[in-house]
Amino acid sequence: MPVIRLELCTEHISIDQREALLDAVWDTLRISPGMVSANGNVELALKQCGAGVDPADAPLVRVDGQEYRNVTPARLLTLLGRWVR
């Protein structure tokens, strides 16, 4: 099974927002940026996604290139639930 790349875009989010998203990932997968989950399915990265990121879309999360806009920690948990079984 290929590794799923989970990218948290750092543009236009506060430190508190970033930490809340990272806490959601940690609570679910027990990984921090640069790590791969124990089952080898998910890799987490913090990324500067570029000037094309609209502030209205933040927080922006990419899963294997698929963008999810205005992601809350609760929404991220829903996305992560697909890989935690």
Q: Answer whether residue 22 shows pLDDT above 90.
A: yes
In this prediction, residue 84 carries a pLDDT of 62
In this prediction, residue 82 carries a pLDDT of 76
pTM of the model: 0.91
In this prediction, residue 75 carries a pLDDT of 95
Write out pLDDT tens, residues 30-73. Answer: 999 999 998 888 999 999 988 888 999 999 999 999 999 999 99
Q: What is the DSSP string of 22-70?
A: HHHHHHHH---TT-B-TTS-EEEEEE---TT--GGG-S-EEETTEEE-S
In this prediction, residue 85 carries a pLDDT of 54
